[in-house]
Structure 1
């Protein structure tokens, strides 16, 4: 008998992709969304929950036979309204509030721990749709030797950034860091590079630069894997970059056909990079 799965859906394209994969695979599942963060999925109708009533929501999952959970999509850190907290959820608040003051990875680890305490198995998006994580290799275009050096430098920067639990991306051109990802995200970083950093390359005829993305070192890869989608390609093109690279096996590629088409039209390479 197939395990019943709960898709905890945030915003963006990934939750709908996973919902379709669950339906296509014939997996019995339900969809849940946090109030204030509509996921856009309407079949099945999402169960709505609040962080202040997390325990009743976990009980609801158990009562409906859920054994497996996948979390996907963007959710901003909610503001906890103390007057709405039920007594059982109140016992979890010290864990949650302590984690709210840390980076995303620390917070998500705590959330995973709470779900596991309820006997739920938390899996990554790639367990539902493994085709979302491409194997190593160049998908589109051909990076130059200079591009490869920029990818290696960007990978070093992302590794250092990730150890601080800050971000998962960097832009490097001709060995110089033009942008580092922080809480506003990849698109904001690319807008900054396009607007402010495009003229910082020492050689106007040299390497145009790369965007590199990777999970944080030691990150729990069942949740919050970096994603690349069509808007990432558009942002990289506007920033004048030569291509996009990512750690092989560690990044979700959304709408792959559209991403490859847009990259080809923009003259960008796409590289699932293995050191």
Structure 2
């Protein structure tokens, strides 16, 4: 896909927005006040309380496509900042937020589509973010393969309830699951409790990650970065398995290098 100045990047924190900016330098960078991004430079800043004027401005600037990338915390809401048209959206968005992250993202996408913007995924700008099926480094054992399969089953069940996108499994036992605090918090929990596995015949474990069933893959695709590898190694795991075509590797070369250095396997599994 050819991406030019008619595409806006709604940027959150983390490495992904920078990777997209590198792949498509002409992107219009948009930053929500109260949820800053890590990109330097002048951005189009907007308030969630004035969402409708922001959408109108994107239209006036000739924007045709929008991509969301990076972690975005929910900003504090100032009721006095609402304009009349944006205020009418509050009940709709509040209801979606109460239904969970997936419902919130769907509601946001619907709003942008109502302004006739095409919402695209980060991987449509940078296709190399999504590895194809195969082992990228290391060699999963038969036990690891079984644990990855068990992890896929657990993550599918979690995702169906809009809970999380990851789990750690060791010899078929579920050691931890990803919830609201996220992947880093889950792996820290596993690291803190890795002594519990000391008497289980060298039990290590596999971190498995995948999108939620039925997830709109244009937004919030799970991602693995160098820090994820470092945290998995610190947790005493044998490797990381993930759904091929459904999980982004942030800076693939660096992630593979980190995994090799740590003695972990990286395996893109068939969906």
TM-score normalised by the shorter chain: which range applies?
over 0.9
In the TM superposition, residue 42 of structure 1 has moved relative to its aligned partner by 2.6
Output one character per residue of 1:36-94: Cα deviation in whole Å (capped at 9) or x when no partner.
Answer: 22212234x21111110000100110000000000000011223221111101011111
Output one character per residue of 1:1-20: Cα deviation in whole Å (capped at 9) or x when no partner.
Answer: 96610000000000011011
Residues 2 and 129 (structure 1), Cα distance of their counterparts in 2 relative to 1, 3 Å cut: closer
Checking the alignment, whether the CA contact within 8 Å between 2:3 and 2:24 is kept in structure 1 is no
Residues 70 and 205 (structure 1), Cα distance of their counterparts in 2 relative to 1, 3 Å cut: same
Q: 2:96 aligns with which of 93, 96, 99?
A: 99
In structure 2, the partner of 1:141 is: 138
Structure 1's consecutive aligned runs of 4 or more residues displaced over 3 angstroms after TM superposition are: none
Instruction: Tell me how far apart the structure 1 counterparts of residues 182 and 242 of structure 2 sit (CA, whole Å).
Output: 16
In the TM superposition, residue 205 of structure 1 has moved relative to its aligned partner by 2.4
In structure 2, the partner of 1:41 is: 39
Whether 1:13 and 2:11 are equivalent positions in the alignment is: no
Return 5+ residue gaps in structure 2 as ranges: none
In structure 2, the partner of 1:253 is: 249
Checking the alignment, whether the CA contact within 8 Å between 2:18 and 2:39 is kept in structure 1 is yes
TM-score normalized with structure 2 length: 0.96
Return 5+ residue gaps in structure 1 as ranges: none
Q: State the SS of the aligned residue for 1:106.
A: helix
Output one character per residue of 1:115-159: Cα deviation in whole Å (capped at 9) or x when no partner.
Answer: 000000000001100000000000000100100000000000000
Instruction: Tell me how far apart the structure 2 counterparts of residues 104 and 90 of structure 1 sit (CA, whole Å).
Output: 21
Q: CA RMSD in A?
A: 1.4
Instruction: Tell me how far apart the structure 1 counterparts of residues 152 and 161 of structure 2 sit (CA, whole Å).
Output: 15
In structure 2, the partner of 1:119 is: 116
Q: State the SS of the aligned residue for 2:176.
A: strand
Checking the alignment, whether the CA contact within 8 Å between 1:174 and 1:202 is kept in structure 2 is no
1:47-58 alignment, distance < 5 Å: 47-58=44-55
How many residue pairs get matched?
A: 269
In structure 2, the partner of 1:243 is: 239
